[in-house]
Structure 1
Amino acid sequence: MRLSSLRRGLLGLAWFAAWSVGAHAQAQWPDRPVRMIVPFPASGATDLVARVVAQRVAQDLGQQMVVDNRPGAGGTIGSAEAAKAQPDGYTLLLTTSSTHAISPHLMPRLAYDARKDFTPVAHLADAPSVLLVTNSLPVKTVGELITYAKANPGKLNYATSGNGTIVHLNAAAFSAQAGVEMTHVPYKGTALAIPDLVAGQTHVLFDSLPTGMPHVKNGRLRALAVTSEKRSSLAPELPTMAESGLPGYSSVTWFGVYLPAGAKPELVDRVHKAFAKAMQSSEVVEGLAKLGVEPAAPGTPAKFAAMVQADSARWATVIRQHKISLE
């Protein structure tokens, strides 16, 4: 009995010691460099956002934040790698709606489960798109575009950056809600689509604000509205799609941070606070504005998770209704 009691006591002490070390490590997070996986190429929008934010987080925490680009398969390769990491706070994933709200409905054999394999931490920022039309179209508002498209069914086409991209989904969602028919013309990027739009060979394009607005300002294209729920501070003169006659239409590319599944609540809170603090700094706000990205409203990990679920459900409906695939 004494031996058994001694063993139980030793096991209890061992468990307590392990728990104490783990709790101390999380309380002290980070005490070494943190790797932040970005599942997209260097110099792309997500990478640039990550570097602006990571620099400030590292400065606040006094530890290096290493941005590790792991591109491929629409961001799913790097996301799968992050999902397999230890949930100790030293591997983070900074990603977008592409990997967690869109790809799960386009790639049935994903190497990760977007909901089960990650712990949502922070919704960082949003990048709205702008609805552009060629100058040859006799329309100046979204309402006029819808009226024209209905009067000319099937005669308009819309350019995209490829099947299943956010550019494609934005246009598909617009067509469905407006009740218009347009032909899809996919390109290998919106930069390649712009010349044909300017020339009038295509008619409609949902582009990012930073790449689309310069063509509006020099008179080559016409902007009708932004896709965000509220007017963008980057182009406040443009109405939203909802203001333009499509109530409820809202679409942004969101940027957020995840930990692998199994992260302790106290660690999630610590990481969340670190990023929330960074997003309040003027240098981050200004840095993101140059990229056409706006900080998200302050929230919680739970609100971030709910937002992603709603976004995912919305795109699942659009993809199913329009039978969109990557083929």
Structure 2
Amino acid sequence: MLGLAVSVAAIFSAPAAWAADFPDRTITLVVPFSAGGSTDLVARLVANKMSEKLGQQIVVENVGGAGGSIGASQVARAEPDGYTILMGTVATHALNPLILKTKPYDAEKDFAPISLLVLVPNVLVVNPQFPAKDVKELIEMLKKDPDKYAYASSGNGTPLHLSGELFKSMAGVSMQHIPYKGAGPALNDVIGNQVPIMFDNLPSSSGHIKSGTLRALGVTTKERVPSFPDVPAIAETIPGYETYSWNALFAPAGTPADVIAVLQKAAAESLKDPDVIARMGQFSASIVASSPEELASHVKAELAKWEPIVKASGVQLD
């Protein structure tokens, strides 16, 4: 009986003891979009600093496709041990659950929240050869030649796609939507002038805006952003227009609370690093570094916010 009691005690104490050794090997951070986009940039910046804090390498793995749902599904099915985590976004945890007819995962039940890292502005950009110099001129061009022009996004049902659909609706214009498997490939085609217009996350476009390979017509937040004070908010031309993106860390549901706590602490400490703060500031990403509980509440609120927008857009994907 004594031996049985000791065995039972060992079983119940094992997770805590195991978590005390976490991590003891490489962690994989799945980015559910292709390399080069905003989520990828934020992931690599945070992963580098978290690796230093944890004493183990965090390897970023890009698993693009289906608006982020393929990568998110991979993490949802992973072993809940903290060694496979997800850089989630508004697409993976608010839009996909509302847009996809077949639900590959439950945004709330299939994940353990770790931390809401940053809020990220979006931006409307065009190829420098495109005639429109501001949002007003773009609207005039689109009204003059309906459906002549196309805009790119990081994929069907992504926040960048819906940013474009909301723009079309509120401005009363038409544009063809060209979806890509991530922001990186879409940016390449806009820079190459295969597609003239794009809604993008500001972080992935910021370098191109500064170098002149893209022209920014407007940011999607209510007001102008500190890193590009000369770029108007779209809301200055279309009152009430607003969208933004966010990045957050998630683990598979069932990951031990002690492991979640270790990851959350490392993420929060990384976001206090002066180099990280400066880099985030360059593209006006607002640092949050939330608790797991706060991220859970955020996901619930985002689902409620986007539901009427998705319904109004009529977007439904298989």
Q: TM-score, length-normalised on structure 1?
A: 0.77
Within the alignment, does 1:276 sit opposite 2:233 as a pair?
Answer: no
Specify the alignment match of 2:219 in structure 1. 226
How big is the alpha-carbon RMSD for the aligned residues of Structure 1 and Structure 2? 3.5
2:243 aligns with one of 248, 251, 257: 251
Give the Å deviation of 1:63: 1.8
Structure 2: distance between partners of 1:114 and 1:129? 23
2:54 aligns with one of 40, 57, 61: 61
Structure 1: distance between partners of 2:143 and 2:58? 54
Specify the alignment match of 2:121 in structure 1. 128
Contact 1:153/1:181, CA 8 A, preserved across alignment: no
Question: Equivalences for 1:15-26 in 2 at 5 Å?
Answer: 15-26=8-19
Relative to structure 1, is the Cα distance of residues 105 and 153 closer, same or farther in structure 2, using a 3 angstrom cutoff? farther
Specify the alignment match of 2:293 in structure 1. 302
Question: Equivalences for 1:183-222 in 2 at 5 Å?
Answer: 183-186=175-178, 188=180, 189-193=186-190, 205-209=198-202, 212=205
1:108 aligns with one of 77, 101, 108: 101
Give the Å deviation of 1:255: 1.5
Relative to structure 1, is the Cα distance of residues 236 and 19 closer, same or farther in structure 2, using a 3 angstrom cutoff? farther
Count of residue pairs the alignment pairs up: 310
Structure 1 residues 178-205: Cα deviation after superposition (integer angstroms, max 9, x where no partner): 36232334254244245669xxx96x64
Structure 2: distance between partners of 1:222 and 1:42? 22
Give the Å deviation of 1:99: 1.9
Contact 1:157/1:185, CA 8 A, preserved across alignment: no
Q: Which amino acid aligns with 2:48?
A: Q
2:253 aligns with one of 261, 277, 288: 261
Q: TM-score, length-normalised on structure 2?
A: 0.79
Contact 2:67/2:156, CA 8 A, preserved across alignment: no
Specify the alignment match of 2:63 in structure 1. 70
Contact 1:125/1:293, CA 8 A, preserved across alignment: no
Contact 1:272/1:301, CA 8 A, preserved across alignment: yes
Corresponding residue SS for 2:124: strand
Gaps of 5+ in 1: 1-5
Contact 2:142/2:174, CA 8 A, preserved across alignment: no
Corresponding residue SS for 2:176: strand
Specify the alignment match of 1:37 in structure 2. 30
Corresponding residue SS for 1:182: coil
Contact 2:113/2:296, CA 8 A, preserved across alignment: yes
Q: Which amino acid aligns with 2:83?
A: Y
Give the Å deviation of 1:281: 0.6
Structure 2: distance between partners of 1:245 and 1:42? 32
Specify the alignment match of 1:3 in structure 2. none
Give the Å deviation of 1:172: 1.6
Give the Å deviation of 1:95: 2.8
Give the Å deviation of 1:44: 4.5
Contact 2:168/2:175, CA 8 A, preserved across alignment: no
1:52 aligns with one of 20, 39, 45: 45
Relative to structure 1, is the Cα distance of residues 183 and 91 closer, same or farther in structure 2, using a 3 angstrom cutoff? closer
Higher CA-based Rg = 1
Question: Equivalences for 1:75-154 in 2 at 5 Å?
Answer: 75-132=68-125, 136-137=131-132, 140=134
Structure 2: distance between partners of 1:253 and 1:313? 15
Contact 1:135/1:221, CA 8 A, preserved across alignment: no
Structure 1: distance between partners of 2:78 and 2:187? 34
Structure 1 residues 39-92: Cα deviation after superposition (integer angstroms, max 9, x where no partner): 333454433332221111111121222333333433322222211223222221
Relative to structure 1, is the Cα distance of residues 229 and 60 closer, same or farther in structure 2, using a 3 angstrom cutoff? farther
Structure 2: distance between partners of 1:217 and 1:35? 32
Corresponding residue SS for 2:61: strand
